[in-house]
Amino acid sequence: MVVYDFTGRHAVVTGAGGGMGEAIALALLDAGASVTAIDIKPRPASLASHDDRRLTFAQGDLTDAVFVERTIGAAGRERGGIDYLANVAGVLWFGRDKSALEMDLDVWDQVFNINLKSFVHTARAVVPQMRAGGRGGAMVHFSTIQWYRGDPKPQDAYQASKAGVCALSKSLAMQLAGDGIRSNAICPGMALTPLQARWDTEEKRAAVANYTPLGRIGTPQDMANAALFLLSDAASYITGVELAVDGGLLMRM
């Protein structure tokens, strides 16, 4: 197992109320970081036992720019700056999110506000603090391998917003390289998180696992492992890339 040391560093993690964001927040805490965890959902039990001297959990709406700026601004002042940002919050609304030719465009706007615009809010709040700290920083933004392909059963708002995440990440990487701030995207494949409640039987999970070249469904910990690598100094010469963490699924696409 790879061991990272984030002692003395401060990370902001969105979507930390469950799934991948929760796993990343826990992994950073276990590696010694201080974490400001943000989600519209309440603080999960897994984070309840962590020392509040290194963990702040803020419950609120990431589409609210005022809330994001106030929360991240206060966190940076309290913790002496911000070193990392993990943009993990997102929604996948089966049934409501479908073909752009027929879906309710209010739903389209809501998905984009959560999956993409909220990432802009957090970046705008974090980057000035990273610059002011003078030691650079790193960001990782969660997309999906789904944006690489079409789908006969589309979730077009999800797919298009996640493509935008990769474009935003690459643009930030170019803009901020001179400040020593890195920006990368992670594109998960099929992962067992609360977003995938449709895989609710052993038979369904087995079928998904068998379709994946590595023969299993991904886990939140798989995504946390990738995120910690990209945030860490071990990835100090990596910026502007999209890392597929998909068990080889892109080879089937």
Query: Strands (DSSP E) along 163-236, which ranges?
Result: 181-188
Which is nearest to 125 in space by CA: 85, 165, 160? 85
Q: For residue 13, which of 82, 92, 67, 65 has the smallest C-alpha distance? A: 82
**What DSSP designation does 5 have?**
-
User: What are the two backbone dihedrals, phi and then psi, of residue 217, each rounded to the nearest 5 degrees?
Assistant: -85, 145
Half-sphere exposure of 238 (CA within 13 A, CB side): 18
Residue 229 structure tokens: 């690598």
Catalytic residue among 84, 158, 211, 237: 158
Buried b or exposed e, range 168-196, using 16+ CB within 10 angstroms: bbbebbeebeeebbbbbbbbbbbbbbebb
Sign of the alpha-carbon dihedral angle for 216, 219, 223, 225: negative
The amino acid that residue 25 corresponds to is A
Tell me if residue 4 is catalytic: no
Return the active site residues. Answer: 158
